[in-house]
Structure 1
């Protein structure tokens, strides 16, 4: 980032241009350019869940972007990618707080028709999905499923931020199926115990396999840490 751009970013009155709080997300202004890869301009952080939404500048590509980290997955919001600082500033001021509100604070407002017709958020999930298990904390359940990428919602997630390990169950509304991914020290791979095409099938798989799979992930995370 050249000196002119650094000065332009420093002159951006972020705490006056963006809300200091969006739901449980708190604005953190943390611009300290070092010319080494990605520079964080500011971030919204949800301390309770460990989620972040970061505004970034990439020294290599010269692009600005917004990157979302929800523990079990990290991805960019492609609509914010630009090499024009003025355009990026305008987009983030006008659109980012509303996106955080609808996508990650009140995610139920972001359900599409297919999700609703499928019945994913309906019924009693609380008794099926414990709030905590084996050191993992539930960060997502079907009543507040989070829209992610590639036509999918994350409908359930358990995560341990210390080991960067956990389990996420997704619903792809383009394929109309459920699938899952586990992470052990942030290394991902698919787990097929929860592959299903109906909500009833998914409930049955979670009832039978959720705790055993989380036990396996915990065991692998502990053995890998030794």
Structure 2
């Protein structure tokens, strides 16, 4: 980040009333004042809950000249588009009104956040979801279809099996605009694209999960172990 951008942001933040009004703890999240440039962004503050592996970070993005709110759920990180603005004043007003509710919704599932299209698809009451084991091949069932997590561009996380020790996961998404399911794996937090779970209907997705989920987990684990061994060499 250019030094003149850093100086501009820090000058603007000096009189930003939101920073003095934020609670130091809320719904198990702990406030952190950051005020640090990282690559092309300037992180302002965050709320982090290490117990549930979730956080939100307010930042300025130099490339787009906008203030944004970044969320992390497990190893999935995304920007909430409804908070994007080039005005610090508008950014502060929106966070002042909505941030605490956002944190609460990250702790306690709020069905109001789920689109009627997702409900109509039958994801939340999918019978197969009840058969998903809480642990599988060393992975923990972190996100369940009964409580999908809204991210961006019409997509929801509906299944997320996570291995926090190896920073790896296997994630299944549903995009309500394209009306399709798709998957992704992460190995040491690095995305690894997979097409094994591409489906249009829950019946089709179930078949592919039964066939590919465990093998995909094993592949991810082997790759994570191999990467760890390379790092030790």
- Report the TM range for the smaller structure's normalisation: 0.7 to 0.9
Cα deviation, residue 19, structure 1: 4.8
If the length of structure 1 is used for normalisation, what is the TM-score?
A: 0.83
Check 1:172–1:83 CA distance in 2 against 1; reply closer, same or farther (3 A cut): closer
Higher mean Cα deviation, 35-44 or 78-87? 35-44
Provide the residue aligned with 1:86 in structure 2.
Answer: 89
2:94 equivalent to 1:115: no
Q: Name stretches of at least 5 consecutive residues in structure 2 with no aligned partner.
A: none
1:65 paired residue among 60, 65, 68: 68
Check 1:114–1:127 CA distance in 2 against 1; reply closer, same or farther (3 A cut): closer
1:49 paired residue among 42, 47, 52: 52
Higher mean Cα deviation, 194-203 or 10-19? 10-19
Provide the residue aligned with 1:145 in structure 2.
Answer: 148
Provide the residue aligned with 2:13 in structure 1.
Answer: 9
Local SS of the residue matching 1:31? strand
Local SS of the residue matching 1:175? coil
Local SS of the residue matching 1:99? helix
Cα deviation, residue 148, structure 1: 1.3
Rounded Cα–Cα distance in structure 2 between residues aligned with 1:224 and 1:4? 41
Local SS of the residue matching 1:179? strand
Q: Name stretches of at least 5 consecutive residues in structure 1 with no aligned partner.
A: none
Once the two structures are superposed, what CA deviation does each residue of 1:162-209 show, in whole Å capped at 9, x if it has no partner? 433211101111122211111222332332332222223323332333
Matched pairs, number: 225
If the length of structure 2 is used for normalisation, what is the TM-score?
A: 0.81
Provide the residue aligned with 2:137 in structure 1.
Answer: 134
CA contact (8 A) 2:80 2:151 kept: no
CA contact (8 A) 1:148 1:154 kept: yes
1:200 paired residue among 192, 199, 203: 203
CA RMSD of aligned residues (A): 2.8
Once the two structures are superposed, what CA deviation does each residue of 1:88-137 show, in whole Å capped at 9, x if it has no partner? 21111112222343466324331111111111010445652222233322
Check 1:201–1:32 CA distance in 2 against 1; reply closer, same or farther (3 A cut): same
Q: Equivalent residues in 2 for 1:172-191 (5 A)?
A: 172-191=175-194
CA contact (8 A) 2:6 2:42 kept: no
Cα deviation, residue 8, structure 1: 5.1
Q: Equivalent residues in 2 for 1:210-225 (5 A)?
A: 210-225=213-228
Check 1:48–1:128 CA distance in 2 against 1; reply closer, same or farther (3 A cut): farther
2:96 equivalent to 1:106: no
Provide the residue aligned with 1:74 in structure 2.
Answer: 77
Cα deviation, residue 2, structure 1: 5.5
